[in-house]
Amino acid sequence: MIEINQVSQVFQTSARQDHLALSDISLTIQDGAFVSILGPSGCGKSTLLYIVGGFVRPTRGAAKMKGRAITGPGPDRGPVFQEFALFPWKSVLGNVMYGPRQQGIKHAEAEAQSRALIEMVGLKGFEDFYPKELSGGMKQRVALARTLAYHPEVLLMDEPFGALDAHTRTRLQNDLLNIWERDRKTVLFVTHSVEEAVFLSDKVVMMTRSPGRIREIIEIDLPRPRRRTELLLDPRYQKYIVEIERMFDDSGEGE
């Protein structure tokens, strides 16, 4: 689904100095896989996600989607960021309907699709609420439903639960896995959390401190569907978390 071939990214600082953010990244992501990118702050995780999204063009190398070079954003890749970026003047239903209406879908069909998505993310009954009336977790559910309304083939998620409290974060992780189990979209997920990466992913891409390189790719061989209460008792789950945490500690990359 996604091919990243020898991608490097150089940014120019305010002092007009070149800063190497990513160095020689190569990665293949299979159709339907859930892949997390993990690493310390400043290692280029989000930059890599933006390159796949088409928001940033790499300095060297190339990113491809289904064999075609990524040259800009497209509806086949749906971003979900930590900042909810909802339209404050639109209701929950209006926010979710925006994408289908922009794609030319008739009002009645767009509304039916949007109501189904709102129910799927657990917000049935909140269709007429506005963003200012919602909690952070509810806003992120709306953001996810709005992205799903475009029917993207790939979800690009940049620390979408990072600003939420622990309980809400856990609930949304569970909801995301339930949605993923249903649709099996390809997911590229950026996070700082080792536990979150192991719980969600088929594969964890561990990056080094800046300039970001791939240090190791860890295959997460745990059964699906995943239930947190069961995994907490599974020694394999604990072993993955400990091993990945040690990667931070051994190289002085912990935060």
Per-10-residue mean pLDDT for the chain, 255 residues long?
Answer: 93 81 94 93 90 93 94 90 82 93 90 91 92 90 88 91 83 88 92 93 92 93 91 93 84 46
Which residues in the chain are classed under CATH 3.40.50.300? Answer: 2-76+156-250
Q: What is the CA radius of gyration of the chain?
A: 19
| Residue 153, pLDDT score | 92
The single residue listed with the structure tokens 């599974």 is 234
Judge whether 68 and 103 are in contact, CB under 8 Å: no
The packing angle between helices 136-148 and 166-183, to 10°, is: 20
Give the span between the Cα atoms of 166 and 149, in whole angstroms: 27
pTM: 0.88
The answer to whether the Cα torsion of 241, 244, 250, 252 is positive or negative is negative
| CATH level 2 (architecture), domain 2-76+156-250 | 3-Layer(aba) Sandwich (3.40)
Judge whether 4 and 52 are in contact, CB under 8 Å: yes
Query: What are 104's two structure tokens?
Result: 């030319």
